[in-house]
Amino acid sequence: MIEAAADILSAAWQVLYASAPYMLFGLLMAGLIKACIPDSFVNRHLGGNSTGAVIKASLVGVPLPLCSCGVVPVAASLREQGAGPGPTTAFLISTPETGLDSIALTYALLDPVMTVVRPLAAFITAMSAGLLVNVLPFTVRNAAAAPPSESCCCENKEKPAAAIPLKRSLPDGIRYAFGALLRDIGPYLLAGIAIAGLITWLIPDNFVEQHLGSGILPMLIMLVAGIPVYVCASASTPIVAALALKGLSPGAALVFLMVGPATNAASITVVAGMLGKRVAAVYVSVIAVCALVMGMAVNALYGWLAIDITDWAAGAHHGPGSLLRALAAVALLVLILRAVVRRS
């Protein structure tokens, strides 16, 4: 047991060691985004229910540092200030599926192709759902009807504040990234790293390839596993990286990266309360269909690029050690513990 625990901790440390510098960089960029794109900008430019508003909502949501629960109060404010159901739905999908922190982690633990594909898939999925909601004759509830999410990971639920000068907003953005945001996603990130260590120790190499293949079956398994449970975009990345080392195809990995952060029991309930059950059905259905279609397309892309889809995550293989990476890993652990302790 002691030897097994040591092996799991060693594998988890390797994941943390590889990802920490990129995670810190992503958090810094998230703070800059928070400072440079005030909530008032989001509310002002995503009003209405036009195709342009859906596209804007899909684009704006991609870099924003909000999880599937933290995005809910912002989306509710959009509805109150005139955003239509289409843009609101698009924003609710693209925002939690990716962000600057998770994009940085994707580059660290997976590969450059997935780093580009992941935010692109989030944008396409969000835009598809938003446009579909726009054209379907739904009776949509007002934002005031949305029930609170009791099982939410995020506690920052206040309405967007008015824009303030960059000189004042920049320190606030950095404090948000390394405070509230890290407090919200940090424990989930550590849990994801721990699960990655367990997967590395428990599952033999090439297990997924040998027992599930690289076709539609592992994608369906990732889809079923990802829909009901909450896993934020950052936490899903080390889990997928560990599975990739066991033979998970990039298409199946993308399915989990898309579905896990955007859907869970709490967020589906909130969407149903905010926009109605029919919109919630479109929300889940479009995410599921787009995930499977783009999963198959990504496997084809890797084949076209002559990249072996059973040995594609080169970034998950860790190279020689460095003091900088070790210091970054320790710093990230300290910052997460500090943020969590301050909450309590």
pLDDT tens-digit profile of 114-142? 999 999 999 999 999 999 998 887 555 55
- Total domains in the chain come to 1
Q: Is 303 exposed, middle or buried (0-12, 13-18, 19+ CB in 10 A)?
A: exposed
- Sequence-distant (6+) residues with CB within 8 A of 179 are 339, 342
> Cα dist. 26→30, 103, 237, 325 in Å?
6, 8, 13, 15
Residues (pLDDT < 50) of the chain are: 143-151, 155-161, 163, 316-320
Q: Give the structural domain span for 261.
A: 2-343
- Sequence-distant (6+) residues with CB within 8 A of 288 are 223, 227, 259
Q: How far is the C-alpha of 326 from the C-alpha of 318, rounded, in Å? A: 13
DSSP structural state of residue 64 = -
For 98, the 3-state DSSP assignment is: coil
Structure confidence at residue 300 (pLDDT) = 94
What pLDDT, in 10s, does the model give residues 251-270?
A: 999 999 999 888 877 778 87
Structure confidence at residue 143 (pLDDT) = 46
